[in-house]
Amino acid sequence: MHEPESDKPTILLASVSQIKLITVAAVLFLAACATPGSPPDRLDPDPAVEQLRQRAQEAYELRDLPVAVELYQQLMRQTEDSSAARQAAEISAALDDWEGVDEAVARWLELEPEAQSAYQLRVIAELRRGRAESAVARFRTGLLPRLDAEAVWPTAVALFAAAGNPQVAERALEELLRAQPAAPGFGLLQQSRLAWQLGQQARALDLAQFAFDELGDPASALWLAGIADQLDQPERALAALRTVRELGRADSAMVMAESEMLREQGRSAEALALLETLEQDTEVLYISGALLEDIGRMSAAGAAWQRLALLTDSGDPDRHAWLTGVLAEVLQLDREAATWYSRVGGAAAPQAKLRQAIVLARLGRAVEAQALLVALRERGGADLRERSWLAEGQILSDTGKPEQALALYSNALAEMSESVDLLYARAMLAVRLEQIELAEQDLRTIIQRDPENAVALNALGYTLSDRTDRQHEALRLIERALALDPENPAIQDSMGWVLFRLGQPEAALGWLSKAAAAEAHPEIVAHLVEVLWQLGRSTEAMEWVERHREFAGEPIFDDMLRRLGIE
């Protein structure tokens, strides 16, 4: 088993899927309908009310939802706190008690008349009872006046898709289209979006094609291209984008999306040629540089970065600084990356500071890096705090201070006990420090919360196989991980290793060969060489060693060479 690299910046190219298949997050409460939101933390000075609130919260935390909803209903009637009404509405929805939703939403809107989530839940309640026409009426009177024009149809489609019945959802959309006349083909586009959300992929694609044939505009082209791309029909996707471009109706985002699709098809020269037709602004130079790096043209990528760094009129200085820093880091220009990250302001500043800290650590400036991360934790949200803990732990580990890193992760978990990433990070460090009981405890905690977490199942199985004599228990865990993610080379490697440890080298060889063919990682290759050597196939083993001499210096690879007496 090996861990994926996690300290590299994410390179976001302008893929069609990113541009159009990410549904507008207009229906903010939909997930809460399935899993009610966190209980309110507002306190009331009345001791009796506070006691009622505490009982409701305890019932909710115990997932005794019938009791919780009854208590929240009492609370919403006795207080002016809209959060109690919201809890009552959301828990009622989770229980499919739509009359209860009606009552709670009515109270919620009395207390918070502009709460869009309340109007959304009111529409859902009608849809779940099969009342498509009433749901549309609720949408038009309650939500429509409160939505920006561009959010109307994405919100409607997302709501209707939550009807729980495709026929009701489709009827509601037809009713809204009748009530809100639009250009020919527009209705087909919305029907395609609804079909996609309902999981009707083939129908969504057909409707998208019909809509594009009618409209021929960028929006319908991007939607068609996005679906076709998701369904592994890249030529169909490219044809739609190319048609709009040749008609002179494509904007730069569409051209960048087409370029990214060409790159994915291995047509890098065409992708770069398209980018060269665009104004060489921040986004285009960044994408060009990332593409050039991706295909190994490092000199040209460096030239693109230089042009990006020298832009003086970027329009958005913070965005320019951020992308210049990211591309510098990708090109391993760490000093330059640190400088550019330090210039980022605005909403991207926290993320830039996080990347800056990671880069500074690589430059040997660990103290500065840690100071940045501590400052981030003092003013960041939960996600940023978690990521800063993880980054600082990695820095301590990489600078030869694993015990301090372990203590840091423990402090972090005292604050963020639900963090799976922190638990996993501490578990992996505990393995390194031979604290196997702690590692097992953390990995079992993750598995208890998420029994289908293939990464944790594999990590625990491999750890038990590699560091204990509990091979049969390890095998069962790895088998579970493999069933969940059968093509994962790390899990295939673990399966091979546990079979080897069980005295089945022939069976192990198949798994390790498959893993090494997919990903020639030092740990996988070390395992494969050892099994080949054990089987008396030393010539093949040496071929693997010679092919991967660049792994010299990797502890697991060097240890294998020493054990086998290979120079």
pLDDT bucket at 1, cuts 50 / 70 / 90: low
Residue with tokens 């997050």: 25
Q: 3-class secondary structure for 161-187?
A: HCCCCHHHHHHHHHHHHHHCCCCCCHH
pLDDT bucket at 11, cuts 50 / 70 / 90: very low
Q: What is the pLDDT of residue 45?
A: 64
Range in 26-30, 74-78, 216-220, 384-388 with the lowest mean pLDDT: 26-30
Domains of the chain: residue spans and CATH: 27-146 (1.25.40.10)
Distance CA 332, CA 336 (A): 9
pLDDT digits (tens, 9 = 90+) for 228-278: 989 999 999 999 999 988 888 888 888 888 998 898 888 999 999 999 999
Q: Which two tokens stand for residue 49?
A: 């009310």
Give yes or no for residue 4 having a pLDDT over 50.
no
Q: What is the pLDDT of residue 33?
A: 41
Distance CA 71, CA 223 (A): 46
- H-state helical runs in 164-297: 166-179, 186-197, 201-215, 218-230, 234-246, 252-264, 268-276, 282-294
The type of residue at 495 is M
pLDDT digits (tens, 9 = 90+) for 26-61: 333 343 343 444 444 444 468 889 999 999 999 988
Give yes or no for residue 490 having a pLDDT over 90.
yes
Residue with tokens 């395609």: 192
Q: Annotate 121-142 with DSSP letters as a single string.
A: HHHHHHHHTT-HHHHHHHIIII
Q: What is the pLDDT of residue 183?
A: 84
Give yes or no for residue 527 having a pLDDT over 70.
yes
Identify whether the C-beta of residue 340 lies closer than 8 Å to the C-beta of residue 368.
no
pLDDT bucket at 3, cuts 50 / 70 / 90: low
Give yes or no for residue 387 having a pLDDT over 60.
yes
Distance of CA 545 to the CA centre of its chain: 36
Give yes or no for residue 544 having a pLDDT over 60.
yes
pLDDT bucket at 19, cuts 50 / 70 / 90: very low
Q: Which two tokens stand for residue 334?
A: 């760490």
Overall average pLDDT of the 384-408 stretch: 95
**Cα distances (Å, whole numbers) of residue 176 to 158, 179, 320:** 13, 5, 42
pLDDT bucket at 14, cuts 50 / 70 / 90: very low
Range in 40-44, 209-213, 425-429, 518-522 with the lowest mean pLDDT: 40-44
pLDDT digits (tens, 9 = 90+) for 441-474: 999 999 999 999 999 999 999 999 999 999 999 9
Which of 286, 225, 280 has the alpha carbon at shortest distance from 257? 225
Identify whether the C-beta of residue 224 lies closer than 8 Å to the C-beta of residue 209.
yes
Q: Which two tokens stand for residue 124?
A: 């859902």
**Cα distances (Å, whole numbers) of residue 49 to 5, 67, 71:** 51, 16, 11
pLDDT digits (tens, 9 = 90+) for 316-333: 999 999 999 999 999 999
Q: Which two tokens stand for residue 100?
A: 């209860």
pLDDT bucket at 5, cuts 50 / 70 / 90: very low
The three-class DSSP label of residue 427 is helix
Which of 153, 228, 226 has the alpha carbon at shortest distance from 191? 153
pLDDT digits (tens, 9 = 90+) for 81-133: 899 999 999 999 999 999 999 999 999 999 999 999 999 999 999 999 999 99
Identify whether the C-beta of residue 317 lies closer than 8 Å to the C-beta of residue 336.
no
Identify whether the C-beta of residue 523 lies closer than 8 Å to the C-beta of residue 493.
yes
Q: Which two tokens stand for residue 450?
A: 């998420």
Average confidence score pLDDT of the chain: 90
Range in 7-11, 237-241, 311-315 with the lowest mean pLDDT: 7-11
pLDDT bucket at 2, cuts 50 / 70 / 90: low
Q: What is the pLDDT of residue 265?
A: 87
Give yes or no for residue 516 having a pLDDT over 80.
yes
Q: Which two tokens stand for residue 70?
A: 């009854």
Distance CA 477, CA 495 (A): 10
Q: Within 10 A of 248 (CB to CB), how many other CB atoms are there?
A: 6
Torsion of CA 469, 470, 474, 475, to 10 degrees: 90
Give yes or no for residue 379 having a pLDDT over 90.
no
Predicted model pTM: 0.66
